[in-house]
Amino acid sequence: MTLAYEERGSGPALLMIHGFPFDRRQWFPQVAGLADIRTCVAVDLRGHGLSLDEEPRDYSMDQFADDVAATLQDMGVDQADVAGLSMGGYVAFALWRRHRARVRSLILSDTKAEADSDEARAGRDAAAKAILDEGMAKFHTGLGPKLLGDEPPPEAVERIEQMFVDTEPAVAAAVAIAMRDRPDATADLGTIDVPTLWLHGEQDKIMPIDAARTSAEAIAGARFVAIPKAGHVPTLENADAVNAAMREFLTA
Ligand code: MLT
């Protein structure tokens, strides 16, 4: 499937993949802020945003990565700088495994390489059930605040809530199961031989920064940048710091 996307700017492509349960809007400050150095492309993964899917089921990170590769091909883009936040990072790892010739460089944000533990897998089942039974607004009430840092800007709070409630429950439930079943990417870290930047919110409660630092160290030459005043979604919580780090990396 080819994906809907937001595009702005000119020059080499910078392809941005959102987390869960978000859509392309999670990257809007970067689309706006980096358009002078890149053709910024923020995709909506299958079922999200404008990439409508009538029958959401049996998703996988591999399938999402194949959709991203098909979209690049459709755009006539051979290679892109690829950025992925959280679940977008899982998709970026899958893209690396399956379509690495398309990846010029990697920008990972608030993600992790490890597969889910048994406890986390059980949590995914419970989340999928709760989403289907109670809807996205209720799901947001529980998870939304945990995603944010200590003093999130109001526009970040608002956009995150909007993306939650705009996601179809059937899609979110299928994606929770797809994340449950994603493969461990730890062994992939050592195979990454393109320039890599790892950004991480200093106040990320979902994926603590120390573990992320250790994963980044397993990627040869990776640059690690801690983003202050941000939790799990630094692209919205501290867009200026994210844009500055990405700009420095992309122009280096
Ligand atoms: C995300 O932001 O994409 C999720 O926190 C990822 C996850 O639940 O593993």
Pocket test for ligand 1, best of 109, 179, 204 (most atoms within 8 A of CB): 179
Q: Ligand 1 within 6 A of 35 CB?
A: no
Ligand 1: centre distance to CA 87 (Å): 5
| Amino acid symbol at 148 | L
Residue 166 has pLDDT above 90, yes or no: yes
Q: Ligand 1 within 6 A of 19 CB?
A: yes
Q: Ligand 1 within 6 A of 72 CB?
A: no
Per residue in 73-83, pLDDT (tens digit) is 999 999 999 99
Percent of the chain predicted with pLDDT > 70: 100
Q: What is the mean pLDDT of residues 154-178?
A: 98
With H, G, I as helix, E, B as strand and everything else as coil, classify residue 167.
coil
Buried residues in 39-71 as b, exposed as e (16+ CB within 10 A): bbbbbbbbbbbebebeebeebbbbbbbbbbbeb
Q: Ligand 1 within 6 A of 87 CB?
A: yes
pLDDT recorded at residue 227:
98
Q: What is the mean pLDDT of residues 169-184?
A: 98
pLDDT recorded at residue 104:
98
pLDDT recorded at residue 57:
87
Per residue in 6-24, pLDDT (tens digit) is 999 999 999 999 999 999 9
Residue nearest atom 9 in ligand 1 by C-alpha distance: 87
Index of the ligand 1 atom closest to the CA of residue 110: 2
pLDDT band at 54 (very low <50, low <70, confident <90, very high): confident
Per residue in 121-162, pLDDT (tens digit) is 999 999 999 999 999 999 999 999 999 999 999 999 999 999
Run of H or E residues at 174: helix 169-180
Run of H or E residues at 202: none
pLDDT band at 88 (very low <50, low <70, confident <90, very high): very high
pLDDT band at 56 (very low <50, low <70, confident <90, very high): confident
